Structure 1
């Protein structure tokens, strides 16, 4: 007979208790005026294989590839920058994001590294079809795609829900991962009061939470940012979440797992399977990831990692975009060491 876990949730630190009491996410009324400024945005044209664009003076190339999965194939969209023979860095985004979440770090690191940023399955221009949306299943499909494009040894940098998939890649394919820069996702400590979005997104197909990309992006960033991004970056984020099918595909992840299940998997299996150097990147002012949960994380919690470091960035939840230069600095230092 199965037995429930005897692990206990971590009590909220006083600062996080105040955040929860005041509500993590803003109401519709609070964002209405801000939202009106973005109603003019038009969808982007779908890319084709080999399309390029210049960002921060760097050439980004769009690619499409068919990988195995879901009984047949999964079509992946990924963007690449940097030398083909460079050491590889794979960037995985969160919700409500896309490959574009990492464009500033890719611009910087592509001077040395081969930078690869896919749209996760269900997001951006990758496939939206039904299939395996368990984090472990989707992660295995993503790993097989990376092998197809010649990324068999790589560093991996992640944020939010992309971290959930990377946790499995780093555990199940330890010999392929050089270093793991892990961001903004529950690790050893967890309290469900910090994850109300789980139920929101689980029911998104019915409550319409993902149907309005502009509202979603503004709601997320106004609620969780410390340094609000420029309008141009917010506009591109909105466009990247506007491709048809995203609003129905993304909830499949939240119906295939839960924040509690993810936490138990890490504590019971995944953390002990990580062998490479690990850098935990967290927003110092993050509402959903209290810094107190990370201040004392050591090799005791990730016992078989080569090393464990924690770096707090001067931002909220979306620090790859909020404090781009500081994030790039931290990654460069980590990779060099």
Structure 2
């Protein structure tokens, strides 16, 4: 035992005398982790004509404005994935119209659910937000709402991004519109009731899945979210009022087209060709009035952002970077 203690003491003394021989090498310096820019998205409401209007906003307050106008039966939710991809450079504003998303939904007997009124609400919203000039992304209902804005303030429109949003008779020839056109001509309760199926779960899901190349890309949250809002008490009448009033946009098509011809705004068209509501036939007539419009026909359906965001976002960013100025 005594010899073991002596040997241990000698070993400890040896280590203490030559620490360098037993020291671990210092770790090599590591490069700093790359920074990741994560845009902050704000979810806000303002009151317009006594109605609380919800909107999403992101990007620099002094950046060029991109106004995102949603379609039926969704809301600004449809732009949730696009907004962060634009917000690094652009001030992005995406409202919910009254009756949609998180905005108030007044009873349809007390609020005019018309495209004229919706356009007025959006106009007053962007005015409150100090957006004096904007590029509009218009889709479905967002097209006539946006084009009505353009007629009111043509000098404010710095550009157009058109995704399955119609302004031509050619784009309303789908059989989808047949019962709706009947209701335009005759507002009877019978013809109104014939449209009830357009706000059902199956049709909502159909709008997201039909014509998509890969349905596994489409989050089921979309139709669950939208249908929950459609199923709110009284909301069916909101939607039927809007479907009935869509016909009021058709007489304005010549004025929309005159705006295109006279102002010639920089225009990007990204269109899902398999859309049975707004088919490809509605995309090409834009070139009659805006010959320099950039057009991309995508193998997608109605809500192409859900299916082809990886293609659309670079096209949109490139278009904005080349054409949009403060």
Q: Same fold by TM (over 0.5)? A: yes
Name the counterpart of 1:147.
127
Q: For the Cα contact (< 8 Å) 1:123–1:250, is it kept in 2?
A: no
Name the counterpart of 2:214.
227
Q: For the Cα contact (< 8 Å) 1:91–1:157, is it kept in 2?
A: yes
SS state at 1:199 partner: helix
Question: Mapping of 1:36-115 within 5 angstroms?
Answer: 58-68=39-49, 73-115=50-92
1:82–1:295 CA distance, 2 compared to 1 (3 A): same
Question: Displacement of 1:78 after TM fit?
Answer: 0.8
Distance 1:328 1:113 in 2: 13
RMSD of equivalent CA atoms: 2.8
Q: For the Cα contact (< 8 Å) 1:64–1:77, is it kept in 2?
A: yes
Q: For the Cα contact (< 8 Å) 1:93–1:99, is it kept in 2?
A: yes
Name the counterpart of 2:28.
none
1:316–1:109 CA distance, 2 compared to 1 (3 A): same
2:170 to 182, 185, 190: 190
SS state at 2:82 partner: helix
Distance 2:45 2:228 in 1: 19
Name the counterpart of 2:296.
311
Q: For the Cα contact (< 8 Å) 1:124–1:241, is it kept in 2?
A: no
Name the counterpart of 1:209.
197
Name the counterpart of 2:242.
253
Report how many aligned residue pairs link the two structures.
270
1:331–1:191 CA distance, 2 compared to 1 (3 A): closer
Question: Displacement of 1:172 after TM fit?
Answer: 1.9
Question: Displacement of 1:169 after TM fit?
Answer: 0.9
Distance 1:86 1:127 in 2: 28
2:250 to 263, 284, 294: 263
Q: Does 1:136 align with 2:116?
A: yes
CA offset digits 1:70-118 (Å, max 9, x no partner): xxx2321111122222221111111121111011110111111111111
Normalising to structure 2: TM-score of the pair?
0.73
Distance 1:235 1:255 in 2: 24
User: Which ranges of structure 1 fall in alignment gaps of 5 or more residues?
Assistant: 1-55
Q: Does 1:301 align with 2:289?
A: yes
Question: Displacement of 1:292 after TM fit?
Answer: 4.6
Name the counterpart of 2:188.
none
Distance 2:195 2:143 in 1: 26
Distance 2:138 2:147 in 1: 9
Task: Decide which structure has the larger Cα Rg and report it.
Answer: 2
1:272 to 243, 253, 258: 258
Normalising to structure 1: TM-score of the pair?
0.70
Q: For the Cα contact (< 8 Å) 2:171–2:283, is it kept in 1?
A: no
Q: Does 1:320 align with 2:300?
A: no
User: Which ranges of structure 2 fall in alignment gaps of 5 or more residues?
Assistant: 1-36, 184-190
CA offset digits 1:111-164 (Å, max 9, x no partner): 111111111122112122232333233212211111101222111101111111
